[in-house]
Structure 1
């Protein structure tokens, strides 16, 4: 049975290269390619791939947020991260968001294919080069709630503290209102806040509020 794969990477040469390499492997079918996380989520909902091969650093919606959205909307679609980043934060953020695999772009075609197979069979595929980051993170004390916010979530929290509405935040960050709502829901859960008022209070207590424009 062929593995249906969607490739998500903001660099065109990488997308096309991965599509070409994967297309040459037996039993791999590339069903689409996305230039950012938002497009990856939209295409995954329409094309129903088995696996999304996801980059992390992408405009509009990064790979971590896209992985989280897919876990909520299409939990049957697995995510395998393929990125140049192998630091502790990147690895843990991706796995916490729901990624089932994490590979660096040093991986070859056969290694990627094997990882896709393991994940499709409900296994996990963590590049040996980054496994120690998981162990390092487990050995550290649990981070403060705001330390678990993604950079985008922290930015949204700062704008909430300025008193901006969802529509205003969307305009400021050039993203959709639905994406803003998703960020707010996630950050509220992470900081254990019930509503915007509690989020604003939390932002000021922890130095996360940013001054408004003059």
Structure 2
């Protein structure tokens, strides 16, 4: 790739953040457009980066999937993490273009950046066995993959409510409900509302399921 890569770094650990900034700023192909601790610290006015390098905080109130989904609207996301939990498949499903371990070398990081910037996908060789195992785990396509609020949203969709009606019942904005539905479709690999409803019924979340939310009950849980 001949043009300069615009890179934004979002890394919660201060020492790692400084080290990554030092490494990347020394590369002639890289232009650092932001180096911040949290996604919320990114300025809306910054130039659109080719790649957002994300070092997720273990103390974040939001899941990695939610953070990746948010940052995917900023630029192509490359996750750099320990991956101590099965998160590789979920990060990719949420919209990440790459996953690199923290103990990977500089050469791999640079290769991952250029691959992701071109629109390719890079997964560290050290993570391929984990990714394969995650993809073979049945729970990855079951309700366990969905966050609590996503399960709640899916139940209301299956009950035939519009996004506006769901928003009122759950105390959310209509835009947030639309984001949840988009995320659910990506996670469950379904297209239209009819397919989504059929999938909800398959998972035991349809309107006739005994675990479904009773009509008129307000949503619960943490708002995002």
TM-score class, shorter-chain normalisation, is 0.5 to 0.7
Query: Residues of 1 paired with 2:127 and 2:109: CA distance?
Result: 15
Equivalent runs, 1:52-201 vs 2, <5 Å: 52-57=52-57, 59-71=60-72, 73=73, 77-88=75-86, 90-141=87-138, 143-150=140-147, 153=150, 182-183=179-180, 186-187=183-184, 190=188, 192-193=196-197
Output the TM-score relative to the length of structure 1.
Answer: 0.67
1:122 positional shift? 3.0
Query: Residues of 2 paired with 1:16 and 1:152: CA distance?
Result: 35
- For residues 112-167 of structure 1, the C-alpha deviation after alignment (integer angstroms, 9 at most, x for no partner) is 11211122233221111101122223334474541221467469889xxxxx9769
Gaps of 5+ in 1: 159-163, 171-175, 195-200
Name the counterpart of 1:15.
Answer: 17
1:81 positional shift? 0.6
Is the 2:10–2:54 contact (alpha carbons within 8 Å) kept by the matching residues of 1? yes
- Superposed CA RMSD in Å reads 4.2
1:92 positional shift? 0.6
Answer 1 or 2: which has greater helix percent.
1
Output the TM-score relative to the length of structure 2.
Answer: 0.64
Query: Residues of 2 paired with 1:133 and 1:208: CA distance?
Result: 33
Cα distance 1:16–1:169, how it changes in 2: closer, same or farther (>3 A)?
farther
Cα distance 1:154–1:22, how it changes in 2: closer, same or farther (>3 A)?
farther
Q: Alignment partner of 2:107: what SS? A: helix
Gaps of 5+ in 2: 156-165, 191-195, 199-204
Q: Alignment partner of 1:25: what SS? A: coil
Q: Alignment partner of 1:47: what SS? A: coil
